[in-house]
Amino acid sequence: MLYKSQGRYADAEPLYNRALYIREKAFGFNNAAVAESLNNLGTLYYVQGRYAEAEPLLKRSLDTRIWTLGPEHPEVSASLSNIAYLKEGRYSEAEDFFKRSLAIAGKDPRAQPR
């Protein structure tokens, strides 16, 4: 995460991939920790403009979070918000994701889309 925040994306990517691999091996594919790694890698791709690579990771993170944490969990709100940002120029699609995210955030003060 430090490398990502410093803009050192080439250094961050293999570490994010390794973390995802380790978590999938340790916990299986449907686990909240795996969803976090998927989200981290997806947002790394997003900040680089690699939207086609980011979207399936962020969608898988969302699905995993809904499955493991429930549809009203703050991390689901964060995933919805992250996917909305991928919808640049497709305003009605983005709006739907943002509305869903905000609905969850409004129910739970811990929900802070990021």
Q: What number of other Cβ atoms are within 10 A of residue 85's Cβ?
A: 17
* Res. 113 pLDDT band, cuts 50 70 90: very low
pLDDT > 70 in the chain, percent:
93
Going from the N-terminus, what domains does the chain have, and what CATH number goes with each? Answer: 2-107 (1.25.40.10)
| Residue whose structure tokens are 């869903």 | 100
**How much is the pLDDT for 84?**
87
**How much is the pLDDT for 98?**
83
Q: What is the mean pLDDT of residues 53-63?
A: 96
Q: How far apart are CA 73 and CA 44, in angstroms?
A: 22
Q: How far apart are CA 63 and CA 69, in angstroms?
A: 10
Mean pLDDT of the chain: 90
- pTM comes to 0.85
* Res. 108 pLDDT band, cuts 50 70 90: low
- Comparing 40-44, 71-75, 107-111, the range with the smallest average pLDDT is 107-111
Amino acid at 107: K
**How much is the pLDDT for 109?**
54
Q: What is the mean pLDDT of residues 68-93?
A: 86
